[in-house]
Amino acid sequence: MTFLLFHWPHDKCPYSTTFRNLGWDPKDGESHLDAMLRPVLLDALVKLGHDKTIHEGARRFRIFVHGHNTSLLPSDTRKVAYLAVMQNVTSSNRSGYDDLLKVYRQTVEAEEKARVLGMWILNLQKRTLTKLAGELTCSEWLVSLF
């Protein structure tokens, strides 16, 4: 099953139709199951390389970081937006990484720090992120673990 999903043509992804019905934003009167399915489905689409989902996640993240409309990125879909941003991070394009570092340093919530650290861990194979150890102080790492 996993092999089929990762080799499925993006325009014919089986998740696309379900996602079009759910969208990024909660709808009035939707069931709790729809609310629980949304971040799982978004996560799968980003990991499958679904361009529209990645672009929308990155757009919402940029708005969130610059504080224009924080309600645009609720906590249940924030992890997916972080993942979408990290899809475009390279050694020559560090803006998403730098913005995530800014979120990490400015938040006081342990859960939010864990989300950001989770994205870095998922993307450690990218050389850009190996610089993380040099950019965070030891005390920042220790505090984030507790």
* Token pair belonging to 25: 């934003």
Q: Which domain covers residue 21, as residue numbers?
A: 2-145
User: Percent of the chain having pLDDT more than 90?
Assistant: 16
Q: How many CB atoms lie within 10 A of CB 41?
A: 19
Q: Look at the alpha carbons of 112, 30, 85, 41 in this order and tell me if their dihedral is positive or negative.
A: positive
Q: Does the pLDDT at position 48 exceed 60?
A: yes
Q: Give pLDDT tens digits for 57-67.
A: 999 999 999 88
Read off the pLDDT of residues 89-107 as tens digits, 9 standing for 90 and up: 877 788 888 898 889 988 8
Q: Which two tokens stand for residue 48?
A: 């499958």
Span 56-83, average pLDDT? 87
CB atoms under 10 Å from CB of 3, counted, come to 7
Please tell me the predicted confidence (pLDDT) of residue 6. Answer: 44
Higher pLDDT among residues 65 and 19, named by residue = 65
CA distance 87 to 47: 9
Tell me which residue of 145, 133, 62, 139 sits closest to 103, measured CA to CA.
62
Alpha-carbon gap, residue 77 to 73, rounded angstroms: 6
* 32 phi/psi in degrees, rounded to 5: -65, -25
Mean pLDDT on 70-77: 84
The total number of structural domains that make up the chain: 1
